[in-house]
Amino acid sequence: MTEVTADTRVVSTIAELRGLLAERRAGGSSVALVPTMGALHDGHLALVRRARELADVVVVSIFVNPLQFGPGEDLDRYPRTLDADVAALAEHGVEFVFAPAAEVMYPAGPVETTIAAGHIGTLYEGASRPGHFDGMLTVVAKLLNIVQPDVVEFGQKDAQQVFLVRRMVREFDVPAVVDVVPTVREADGLALSSRNRYLDESQRMAALTLSEALRAAEAAAGDGLAEVLAEGAAAFGDHDDVTLDYLVVVDPETFLPVADDARGDAVALVAARVGSTRLIDNTTISLG
């Protein structure tokens, strides 16, 4: 079934989407994919704008992927705002919104064949959310196969996701360029996230601790790793409502923690729980 909103078509089956894209490709159009789970915010719309710059046709997928949620996580309460999402995408000139039901993506129930994210998939986010990255890579692989885009957009906010997707694309010879867009922040520094809508006013204030910790880490980078970790962790001292899960500095090439005496570019990753909401953020730092 296809719903048409201005020039934006909402497509819910794989066959229909493939047919529509084949027509557009036959006319010489390039295709960009923006994979999302919906509940769109300005961070997603930055991905859409970039996709429009890079390709003739933009497909935004909206699918809350059950495979990447563990038991006790927020699969059931994850915000689902399809009408508002489609309206925003129509305003941004998106041609196709692919919004399949779970039965379309997984007609026989959870797939038996999955992509394993490897050792890095078990660290940081993967340590707190076992299986999350296997589920994420599995659905991204499916979406890449369904859409076969020339370019696929991801946000830098999910730095570990970006690392793992890039590696999968490289190792599986997927013929798509992975393009990464910088994190979009509120004026006070909070990284945009669909999960921010779970936060009440005081939690919203407490959530600023993540970006404050990253700023402190950045400021201490010239003094080396130990200072970065100490200053970053100190930012969490002031707030009872925020529980630090991890603050780690990784090598952007390997995504393994850097050595104590590391120098040069690195990525500081932070995750914390604010009330029952898990938030993540990251920034590039230059260790001196």
Q: Which residues bind ligand PAF (CB under 6 A)?
A: 35-37, 65, 68, 136, 139-140, 158, 161
Q: Output the smallest distance, CB 1 to ligand PAF, in A.
A: 22
Catalytic residue, candidates 44, 92, 132, 239: 44
Q: Output the smallest distance, CB 276 to ligand PAF, in A.
A: 19
| Pairwise CA distance, residues 51 & 72, whole Å | 34
Q: Which amino acid is at 129?
A: R
| Pairwise CA distance, residues 218 & 231, whole Å | 9
Q: Output the smallest distance, CB 59 to ligand PAF, in A.
A: 12
Q: Output the smallest distance, CB 138 to ligand PAF, in A.
A: 9
Read out DSSP for the chain?
A: -EEEETTEEEE--HHHHHHHHHHHHHTT--EEEEEE-S---HHHHHHHHHHHHH-SEEEEEE---GGG--TTSSTTTS---HHHHHHHHHHTT--EEE---HHHH-BTBS-SS----TGGGGSTHHHHSTTHHHHHHHHHHHHHHHH--SEEEEETTSHHHHHHHHHHHHHTT---EEEEEPPPB-TTSPBP-GGGGG--HHHHHHTHHHHHHHHHHHHHGGG-HHHHHHHHHHGGGG-TTEEEEEEEEE-TTT-SBPPTT--EEEEEEEEEEETTEEEEEEEEEEE-
Q: Output the smallest distance, CB 140 to ligand PAF, in A.
A: 6
109: left (phi over 0), alpha (psi -120 to 50) or beta: left
Known binding-site positions for (R)-pantoate: 68, 161
Indicate if 44 belongs to the active site. yes
Known binding-site positions for ATP: 37-44, 155-158, 184, 192-195
Known binding-site positions for beta-alanine: 68
Q: Point out the residues that are catalytic.
A: 44
